[in-house]
């Protein structure tokens, strides 16, 4: 059995009375490409945010590389409001901030692209190298970190060449065409040296040809950087092409899990996507 | 690479020429010239504006505590540099000063910055959790509290209570001001261009993305706040030198707004913009427009209409409104001055005209 990279257990995220993610349990193993799919508003992005430390989940636990990174149970006002399951299972409360998780080797992209808008393509990627610095504010100001700075710049250029963005390195990031902005966001995530890459709808807004290129690109970076990938996607062709396994959620709850062929023929999934309501 | 060197060299030549001009003014301008008082003020507020820009423009934190940190710097500097024999005279209402030594100028300046930075360190943790407007209100409140506290009778032996402090070391020659301001601004530029500067800009551009890229928000915001406050403290000390007297009444929130205005006019996110704006702002308000406040009579003896006390501020405010209307992003936007690019632009303009002439 391959080594477990991400283990999500009974994860529940509740906003007021809305249960956006409900008791989600999933595993991602080393080297796998796993897709998280579901209709719009199913809670996929919210699950990402709870795993990466943006939100504190209401209940549940997450481990990364065999180390627990997140655990929570309903507290305070949520004690009364809680509408999910397993309310008494977890006793501790711990969360890491997104930057701590990125340091541990978790990197992500965003559904609505979030590039550093005043910076060039080159600077966007270079900024993501800041977290692996050994310099402090004094050595950096006095340029005593010259060697490290040069190394970071060289690595950034190398990465830009790898992902085919070197020719636009001096352009302002947000001026790039949409497809390249998505690619740049992936490159920026790669610059943090991740072991697990989380992609939130990387093909959104792409045409079929671009989508096909993206499929190849994701395979390529997985090999090149020995990555494990968890992705959210709507383009079914891409998902079925690329994924080793798929989790399907609807209204925050997992409704199916399996290899692409199993998912394609799963009646619950078909119903969810066709919009059949549950009590019919 | 070659182009980058050319830019650097032409900028260095420009700075050199500027320094030479300042030396010439120092040596050859008549002692009564307005240049002296204006340039001292420009140096002081350039530094205040650049350090505010580091926090507000480059890190995206809207703080209005500048007057408070400048006050801390000014008082620290002034208290530490009064000659020992003058102390009982300055602190006559409180018997004597509790501090009984005199520090040289440079260590006192550094300490002025450090005290301001220390207070930033203390309030940074709770205050920087607040977002935008709330941060502005909290820092504004901090400045007012500091101003109230130093006036307290209980602190008299240290701060001289509500009485002004004077008799401290205050250099008169402008090169001293240019050196203090220049070195401080150079350090800020080095920070902005370092890997930390990139992290600050990332936070300004998109906090969520910056955090996802591994940038510790709390740590970096606090760092920027402390650095900015350090240099605010130094500029406060410079202000003390300018005025040769320190009193808490001059460190009002109106002063913070003035610095903010300089930052906005120069361009939020441009160091050279802040310096240019500080020059334009103080040269025109304290010098070039001074004649508007004087009642003037024409040769025939009739009074020139409108000219008189207060009219200067009217014209000045109108000018500021015009600048803000025409330069939405300030004079420099987020760009920096580049002599080389400027020259190339002028050359291309010139060539263009020549080409047109030749065609005719
Ligand atoms: N910060 C929030 N506050 C309240 N409700 C939220 C918040 N974030 C997401 N939701 C709700 O959670 C549900 C799931 O949203 P989301 O995770 O974005 O879905 P998707 O699967 O399309 O990515 C939606 O109903 C949304 O309104
Ligand atoms: Mg989504």
Q: What is the pLDDT of residue B221?
A: 95
- The reply to whether B8 touches chain A by the CB within 8 Å rule is no
- Is A51 in contact with A77 (CB distance < 8 Å)? no
Inter-chain CB pairs, A–B, below 8 Å: 103
Number of Cβ within a 10 Å radius of residue B358: 7
Q: Where are the domains of chain B?
A: 33-252
Q: Report percent pLDDT > 70 for chain A.
A: 97
Cα(A251)–Cα(B22) distance, integer angstroms: 70
- Specify the pLDDT at position B353: 60
The stretch A232-252 carries a mean pLDDT of: 90
Atom of ligand 1 nearest to the CA of A46: 17
Helix residue ranges per DSSP H, chain B:
2-28, 34-53, 66-80, 87-90, 105-127, 132-150, 156-159, 174-192, 195-205, 207-212, 217-243, 253-266, 271-283, 311-326, 339-359
Q: pLDDT tens-digit profile of B125-143?
A: 888 888 878 999 999 999 9
Measured in Å, residue A211 CA sits from the centre of ligand 2 at: 18
Query: Do A98 and B202 make contact, defined as CB atoms within 8 angstroms?
Result: no
Gap between the Cα atoms of B279 and B181, Å rounded: 13
What pLDDT score does B229 carry?
A: 97
Q: Using one digit for the tens of pLDDT, what is the confidence trace for A81-107?
A: 888 788 888 888 888 999 999 999 999
The pLDDT value recorded for residue B355 is 58
pLDDT at B326: 84
Domain range A106-193, CATH architecture: 3-Layer(aba) Sandwich (3.40)
Sheet holding A18-29, edge to edge: A18-29, A4-15, A59-64, A67-72
Mean pLDDT score of chain A: 91
The closest-lying atom of ligand 1 relative to the alpha carbon of residue A48 is 17
Fold for the domain defined by A1-104+228-280: Rossmann fold (3.40.50)
| pTM for the whole structure | 0.91
B187 touches chain A (CB under 8 A): yes
Q: How confident is the model at residue A112 (pLDDT cuts 50, 70, 90)?
A: very high
User: Which residues in chain A have their CB less than 8 angstroms from residue B191's CB?
Assistant: 137, 140-141
Predicted ipTM > 0.95: no
Model pLDDT, residue B188: 96
Q: Residue A256: name the closest of A241, A246, A244 by CA.
A: A246
Positions of chain B with pLDDT under 70: 1-3, 352-360
pLDDT at A280 over 70: no
* Residues of chain A found within 8 Å of residue B210, distances taken between Cβ atoms: 116, 127
What CA–CA distances, in Å, run from A222 to A7, A25, A236, B212? 20, 24, 20, 20
Q: Give the pLDDT score at B314.
A: 83
Ligand 1: residues within 6 Å at CB? A 15, 18, 20, 38, 40-46
**Which one of the ligands is nearest to A38 CA?**
1
Task: Tell me which chain B residues have a C-beta less than 8 angstroms from the C-beta of A189.
Answer: 213
- A125 pLDDT band, cuts 50/70/90, is very high
The pLDDT of residue B1: 58
Q: Where are the domains of chain A?
A: 1-104+228-280, 106-193
Which helix (DSSP H) or strand (DSSP E) does residue B57 occupy? none
Residue among A52, A114, A141 minimizing CB distance to B187: A141
What Å distances lie between residue A14 and A94, A250, A255, B91, CA to CA?
Answer: 17, 15, 18, 62
**At A211, which helix (H) or strand (E)?**
helix A208-224
A36, A42, A43, A247: which to mutate for ligand 1, most atoms within 8 A of CB?
Answer: A43
* Per-residue pLDDT, B358: 55
Query: Model confidence at A29, in pLDDT bands (50, 70, 90)?
Result: very high
For B195, which residue in chain A has the nearest alpha carbon? A130
Residue A141: exposed, middle, or buried by beta-carbon count in 10 A (0-12, 13-18, 19+)?
buried
- More confident position, B29 or A232: A232
User: In the structure encoding, which two tokens stand for residue A37, read together?
Assistant: 């799919």
């Amino acid at each position: 059995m391959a080594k477990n990279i991400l283990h999500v257990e009974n994860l529940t995220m509740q906003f007021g009375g809305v249960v956006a993610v409900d008791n989600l349990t999933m595993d991602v193993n080393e080297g796998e490409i796993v897709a998280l799919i579901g209709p719009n508003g199913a809670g996929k992005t919210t699950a990402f945010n709870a795993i990466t430390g943006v939100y504190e989940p209401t209940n549940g636990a997450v481990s990364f590389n065999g180390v627990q990174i997140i655990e929570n149970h309903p507290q305070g006002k949520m004690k009364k409001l809680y509408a999910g399951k397993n309310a008494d299972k977890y006793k501790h409360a711990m969360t890491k901030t997104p930057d701590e998780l990125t340091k541990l080797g978790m990197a992500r992209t965003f559904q609505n692209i979030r590039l550093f808008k005043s910076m060039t393509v080159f600077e966007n990627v270079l900024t993501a190298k800041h977290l692996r610095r050994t310099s402090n504010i004094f050595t950096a100001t006095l340029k005593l970190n010259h060697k490290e700075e040069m190394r970071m710049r060289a690595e950034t250029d190398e990465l830009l060449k790898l992902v085919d963005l070197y020719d636009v390195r001096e352009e302002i990031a947000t001026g790039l065409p949409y497809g390249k902005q998505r690619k740049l966001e992936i490159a920026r995530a790669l610059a943090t040296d991740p072991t697990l890459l989380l992609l939130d709808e990387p093909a959104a807004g792409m045409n079929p040809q671009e989508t096909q290129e993206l499929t190849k690109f994701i395979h390529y970076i997985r090999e090149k950087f020995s990555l494990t990938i968890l992705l959210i996607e709507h383009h079914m062709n891409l998902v079925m092409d690329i994924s080793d396994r798929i989790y399907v959620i609807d209204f925050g709850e997992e409704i199916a899990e399996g290899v692409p062929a199993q998912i394609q023929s799963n009646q619950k999934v078909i119903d969810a996507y066709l919009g059949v309501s549950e009590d019919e | 690479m070659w182009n980058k060197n050319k830019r650097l060299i032409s900028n260095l030549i420009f700075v050199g020429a500027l320094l030479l001009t300042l030396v010439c003014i120092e040596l050859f301008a008549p002692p009564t010239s307005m240049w002296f008082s204006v340039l001292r003020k420009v140096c002081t507020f350039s530094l205040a504006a650049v350090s505010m820009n580091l926090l507000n423009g480059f890190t995206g934190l809207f703080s209005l505590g500048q007057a408070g940190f400048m006050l801390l710097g000014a008082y620290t500097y002034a208290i530490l540099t009064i000659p020992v024999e003058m102390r009982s005279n300055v602190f006559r209402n409180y018997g004597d000063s509790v501090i009984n030594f005199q520090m040289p100028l440079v260590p006192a300046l550094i300490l002025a910055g450090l005290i301001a930075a220390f207070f930033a360190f203390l309030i940074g943790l709770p205050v920087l959790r607040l977002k935008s407007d709330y941060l502005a209100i909290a820092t504004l409140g901090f400045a007012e509290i500091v101003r109230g506290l130093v006036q307290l009778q209980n602190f008299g032996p240290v701060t001289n209570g509500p009485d002004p402090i004077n008799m401290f070391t205050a250099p008169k020659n402008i090169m001293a001001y240019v050196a203090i301001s220049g070195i401080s601004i150079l350090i800020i530029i080095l920070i902005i261009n370092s890997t930390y500067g990139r992290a600050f800009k990332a936070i300004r551009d998109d906090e969520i993305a910056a955090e996802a890229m591994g940038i510790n928000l709390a740590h970096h915001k606090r760092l920027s706040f402390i650095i900015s406050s350090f240099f605010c403290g130094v500029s406060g000390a410079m202000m003390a030198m300018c005025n040769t007297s320190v009193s808490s009444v001059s460190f009002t929130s109106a002063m913070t707004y003035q610095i903010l205005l300089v930052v906005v006019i120069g361009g939020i996110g441009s160091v050279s913009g802040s310096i240019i704006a500080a020059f334009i702002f103080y040269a025109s308000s304290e010098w070039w427009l001074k004649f508007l406040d004087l009642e003037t009579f024409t040769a025939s003896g009739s009074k020139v209409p409108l000219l008189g006390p207060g009219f200067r501020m009217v014209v000045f405010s109108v000018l500021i409104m015009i600048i803000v209307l025409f330069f939405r992003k300030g004079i420099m936007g987020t760009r920096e001055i580049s002599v080389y690019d400027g020259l190339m632009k002028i050359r291309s303009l010139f060539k263009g005209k020549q080409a047109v002439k030749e065609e005719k």
